[in-house]
Amino acid sequence: MARLRLQPCHAPRVMVSWEQMQQDKKQKRKKLGALALICASAAYVAITGHPAKEPVPMYTSILTGQCWLDELLKGHPLRFQQQLGVTKEVFCQLLLELQLFYSLTDSKYVTADEQLAMFLYFASTGSTF
C-alpha cells in the first residue's frame, strides 16, 4: 500500500453544500432547544422540590385597639415591624422593662401594651392625633 503524505497547506478541501450547512444549523438548534428544556426542567424541580413555608397573610385587619394589637402580635413579623417600627421581640422586652422599672400599668380602658403600641405607632409613622 502506498502512503499518501499530505502537507497542511495541501490538505484536500471539503466542499459543503448550502443545504448541508442549513441542516447542520437545524440540528444544532434542536440540540440547544433540548438542552434548554432539560435545564429549565431541572431548575423547576430544584425550585419546587423543596417544601415552601406556609405564607402568612399581611394587611388583613379591620380591627382597632387591643384586638388590632393582638392580631399584630399573632400575625406576620414583617407587618408588626412595619406598623410599630420594632420587632415583636423588642416590643415585648420594652414592655416588660417599662412595667418593671417605670411602673407602666393598665389604665381603666387601655392596657399597657396598647399604650406602648400607640406610642410606637405614632413615633414610627410621624402621625398625630
Model pLDDT for residues 2-40, shown as the tens digit of each residue: 665 655 555 556 666 888 888 888 898 888 888 888 888
The answer to whether the beta carbons of residues 73 and 80 sit under 8 Å apart is yes
Model pTM greater than 0.75? no
Model pLDDT for residues 54-72, shown as the tens digit of each residue: 777 766 778 888 898 998 9
